[in-house]
Structure 1
Amino acid sequence: MTFTASDAEGHRAMALALRVGELLLGSGEATENVGGAMRRILEAYGMRHVEADVNLSAITLSHVPDDGRPATTAERRVRRRHPDYDRLIAVHHLVGEVATRELPLGETEERLRTITRRVRVYPDWAVVTALALISASAAVLIGGGLTVAAAAFVATVLGDRAGAWLGRRGVAEFFQLAVAAMFGSLVAVLLIAMRVPVEASAVVVGAVVALLPGRPLVACVQDGIAGEYVTATARLTEVVFIVAAVIAGIGATLAVAVRLGVPITVESVPSAPLTLAPPQLAGALGLSLTFAVALLVPPRYLLPGALGGGLIWLTFVWLARHGVPLIGATAIAAAVVGLLGTAYARRVRVPSAVFVIPAIGPLLPGSALYRGMLELSLDNVSAGALHLIEALSIAVGIGAGVIMGAEILRAFRGRGLARRIRPAARRTRGY
């Protein structure tokens, strides 16, 4: 079937592609893949010479006929972005069916409406519980123990509910995140003030890990490597503001606590022990598993994501024990997960983010970020800045490592296919 942009059916096809792009981008897909999916749909319905422009908040399609008819341009704003990997998988499968067999346009539209209206794979209470369990698992990973894990769980639930309350009243997400971070640090401050004999700082680290933007970070690096510099810059700005909100929340609480004389010291901040002991393995596996639930990964794909968390921790510890610097070990471990996760995703025909993003959870730099903020609160500006730079370097290493693993797989899968998917990959030698 072949449509033109001047036909009513052509307009419907363009509207369908825009809706698909909105769902993919809003569900956490990378810009490059969103543009590719929209072009595949329009090519399947016979529309050639279509350009797709995707950025973080708007999607534009432009069709320029080669027979002299007027060009057509359509745009759709992306007003809500919420990670939903169950919906992401469903839309990807629909795009694949449209590209491989000619589905009638009406049937495709109806199936897309069904995907849009489908009930979320997990209820809201399960997602909130998963977020809290991310914090609890991170607390176990860094050696906090069960008491600290329970405190981190409670702090995250309180912070998330406070943020949701603010959200329902139209308060900007920046302040929602700042308040959520405050609760994590506040619980730790109370434990220290009451001299409870536990690793109280691990509560903050756990709460921070649940708030860190691992998914936007990986998408940012992926967009930059793919040549989507405008969107990569926008995603980087998003990451910076998320981290700034977390830092603001923690910093405000710590500053007040230090002024009130609460005995908070940098030496009390725990770091994850480089060991494969059962608590650390359980923490890594649990962190990735609950991260996957929070991202609404369907139940049948939860186990691979959890195993990815165990694999990335095992690789990281092995490399660190053999003298590889921590940032290098982080990047290499992320590359291993990126390579294997992408390969498995292609085998089962789902987006690689479904497995890769949950797996990076154990390496997110919660301890370095908290240590930096504590140093700043104690007026150790130079030391605090160094720890914050360390946290940033670890985060960039995770994103770059994940994409490097996927790029290694791309390099050996066939030149023709790679060029069709990424035309801008031709060499320019930097000019």
Structure 2
Amino acid sequence: MLGLVALLLQWIWRKSRAPDRHAGGGALRFHPMTYTASDADGHRAMALALRVGELLLGSGEATENVGGAMRRILEAYGMRHVEADVNLSAITLSHVPDDGRAATTAERRVRRRQPDYDRLIAVHTLVGEIASQGLSLGETQERLREITRRVKVYPDWLAVTALALISASAAVLIGGGPIVAAAAFVATVAGDRAGAWLARRGVPEFFQTALAASFGALVAVLLIWQDVAVQASAVVVGAVIALLPGRPLVAAVQDGIAGEYVTATARLTEIIFIVSAVISGIGSMLTLAVSLGVRITVDNVPAAPLTLAPPQLAGAIGVSLTFAVALLVPPRHLLPGAIGGGLIWTTFVLLVWNGAPAVVATALASAVIGLAGTAYARLVRVPATVFVIPAIGPLLPGSALYRGLLELSIGELSVGTLHLIEALSLALGIGAGVIVGAEMFRAFLGRDLARRIRPASRRTRGY
């Protein structure tokens, strides 16, 4: 078995080293036109790079990759000495000529950040073609307009349905039956529509998320109040998993490891506010229910059975598949993400069976996904995010977060705080594990490709 895995990895590595006729691995040669920031075409090239950076960052790409894509575009058009500064809400390009001419600085704000992995793939493909085929500025601008105007790969109703199916699949994963899955589905749809209603009226996203989270707790409270013989709390856990910021978490850890500390801090702040909104919505509803006499105890909190039984495997695959649809992953790339969900759950369970603590098992299972996802992404020439982010869905710490909130609501402050810290540790283990797996693959790449992705790593020894 290990020999087969070794042969498979060796084959992927060789394929990744082969020249790519489509994405510019060296099969095509061209002589780029040389622009300067004082030329009109130089301004157009900088504007083009800023627009590409905005689309990549808004679609969920990491800061390091956004800056690298912009530099590749400008180098393709002969513009050297350009510095790119990418923050969570603004992108800046500065061109400082070495012949004494005046420097030029341009900035673009990123006002809308909504994950769209179909657009992300299209923009990355365009960047590769610019670097390899020498597209003119006019051709590139027309291609970019086509990408921004293209119809979404899935209609809005299907994206909402996928979000609800994440909750239903998560409810099945942690041991809920058909009734619980249906209740989680309804609660998520209701919460999402309520949040959309607030969005149309200009209410900040914090309150939208809090309201959406409260619907899952409301449905669970109603089931417990009516003594329905189901794991009602699984509804809340499913709703929590659908709202947890797995994508920003991985991007934050990646930015921090790459040395982009300002953006990493901003992403962590965003994560804190998202989680705080989820906590506020669920905690408020649980506190209200306890004050009204609804018998909610810690015994109501389910935990995912650590088995490889068909319901758990189906739930894990379902979570990843529906996550991929919600993130607008193209249909041709849905299957690898779904398989990744089954792989990460299987790896996690096997590690726990062999005595690994939950946090360690989570990090190692995520590292496997990071390695496998990066290798597969390199093979098919798309960003690894397309496969990795949906695959981590089954390990998002919904149960630990809900248990901590419930314990805080019933007055067990110390125990509740410990469970919230556990949920945070699991989340950070996911992010760190994914990046470790990706860096393991990067470390064994060819020297030329490694330099293109990351020109040099700073070695500060902590100073």
Instruction: Kindly provide the CA deviation profile for residues 249-308 of structure 1, in whole angstroms up to 9, marking residues without a partner as x.
Output: 000000000001101010110010000000000000000000000000000000000000
The one-letter code matched in structure 2 to 1:284 is A
Map residues 136-215 of structure 1 onto 2, 5 A cutoff: 136-215=168-247
1:64 aligns with 2:96: yes
What does residue 340 of structure 1 align with?
372
* Paired residues of 1:338 and 1:404 also in contact (CA < 8 A): yes
Give the distance between the partners of 1:422 and 1:170, measured in 2 at CA. 40
What is the deviation of 1:414?
3.0
SS in 1 for 2:293: coil
CA distance in 2, matches of 1:335, 1:53: 29
1:20 aligns with 2:40: no
State the match for 1:288 in structure 2: 320
Paired AA for residue 206 in structure 1: G
With the length of structure 1 as denominator, give the TM-score of the two structures: 0.99
**In structure 2, what is the Cα distance between the partners aligned to 1:427 and 1:283?**
43
Aligned-partner Cα distance in 1 for 2:292–2:419: 24
Question: Against the structure 1 CA distance between its residues 420 and 86, is the aligned structure 2 distance closer, same or farther, given a 3 Å change threshold?
Answer: closer
Whole-Å separation in 2 of the counterparts to 1:94 and 1:164:
33
Aligned to 1:404: 436
Opposite residue 186 of structure 1, the aligned amino acid is L
Which of the numbers 137, 156, 180 marks the counterpart of 1:124? 156
Superposed CA offset, 1:96-123 (max 9, x none): 0000111011000000010000000000
- 1:189-220 CA-to-partner distances (Å, cap 9, x unmatched) read 00000000000000000000000000000000
Instruction: In structure 1, give the amino acid aligned to 2:92.
Output: T
Corresponding residue of 2:303: 271
Q: Counterpart amino acid of 1:343?
A: A
**TM-score, length basis structure 2:** 0.92
Paired with 1:292 and 1:221, the residues of 2 have a C-alpha distance of 21
Structure 1 portions without partners, runs of 5+: none
Extract structure 1 runs of 4+ deviating beyond 6 A.
Answer: none
Displacement after TM superposition at 1:430 (Å): 1.7
Please list, as runs of the form range in 1=range in 2, the aligned pairs for 1:40-59 lying within 5 A after superposition: 40-59=72-91
Shift of 1:429: 1.7
How far off its partner does 1:52 sit? Answer: 0.1
The 10-residue stretch of structure 1 (330-339 or 416-425) with the greater mean CA deviation from structure 2: 416-425
Greater alpha carbon shift after TM alignment, 186-195 vs 409-418: 409-418
Contact kept, 8 Å, 1:365 with 1:395, in 2: the verdict is yes
Task: Find the residue that maps to 1:425 and give its secondary structure.
Answer: coil
How far apart, in 2, do the equivalents of 1:21 and 1:226 lie?
18
Q: Partner residue of 1:237?
A: 269
Identity percentage of aligned residues:
82
Q: What one-letter code is carried by the residue in structure 1 that aligns with 2:36?
A: T
Distance 2:174 2:45 in 1: 51
Correspondence for 1:96 among 100, 122, 128: 128
The one-letter code matched in structure 1 to 2:308 is L
Q: Which amino acid aligns with 1:295?
A: L
Deviations 1:362-385 (A, max 9, x none): 000000000000000001000010
Residues 220-231 of structure 1: matches in 2 within 5 Å?
Answer: 220-231=252-263
Partner SS for 1:428: coil
Root-mean-square deviation (Å) = 0.7
Which amino acid is 1:177 matched to?
Answer: T
| Structure 1 residue corresponding to 2:400, chosen from 333, 349, 368 | 368
Of 430, 445, 450 in structure 2, the residue corresponding to residue 413 of structure 1 is 445
Q: Secondary structure at the match of 1:129?
A: helix
SS in 2 for 1:274: coil
**3-state DSSP class of the match of 1:275?**
coil
- TM-superposed CA distance for 1:424, in Å, is 4.8
Structure 1: how far apart are the matches of 2:452 and 2:178?
Answer: 51
Deviations 1:385-429 (A, max 9, x none): 000000000000000000000000111113454344324513222
Name the amino acid aligned to 1:388.
Answer: L
User: Per the alignment, in what secondary structure is the counterpart of residue 312 of structure 2?
Assistant: helix
User: Match of 1:144, SS?
Assistant: coil
Q: Does 1:323 align with 2:355?
A: yes
Asked whether the equivalents of residues 188 and 204 of structure 1 are also in contact (C-alpha less than 8 Å), the reply is: yes
Task: Give the match for residue 64 of structure 2.
Answer: 32
For 2:287, the equivalent position in structure 1 comes to: 255
> Alignment partner of 2:352: what SS?
helix
Check the 8 A contact 1:216/1:239 in 2, yes or no: yes
Are the aligned partners of 1:227 and 1:424 in contact in 2 as well (CA < 8 Å)?
A: no
CA distance in 2, matches of 1:180, 1:311: 30
Task: Measure, in 2, the Cα distance between the counterparts of 1:29 and 1:155.
Answer: 30
Give the Cα–Cα distance (whole angstroms) in 1 for the partners of residues 287 and 351 of structure 2.
Answer: 37
| SS of residue paired to 2:94 | strand
User: 2:346 matched to which residue of 1?
Assistant: 314
Q: Structure 1, residues 25-65: CA drift from partner, whole Å, max 9, x if none?
A: 00000000000000000000000000000000000000001
1:87 to 119, 124, 128: 119
1:4 counterpart letter in structure 2: T
Instruction: Quote the Cα distance in structure 2 between the aligned partners of 1:65 and 1:105.
Output: 21
Q: Map 1:99-110 to 2 at 5 A.
A: 99-110=131-142
Q: How many residues align?
A: 431
Q: Residue type of the partner of 2:350?
A: W
**Contact between 1:419 and 1:425, CA under 8 Å: does it hold in 2?**
no
Tell me the SS of whatever aligns to 1:76: strand
Where do 5+ consecutive residues of structure 2 fail to align? 1-32
Corresponding residue for residue 390 of structure 2:
358
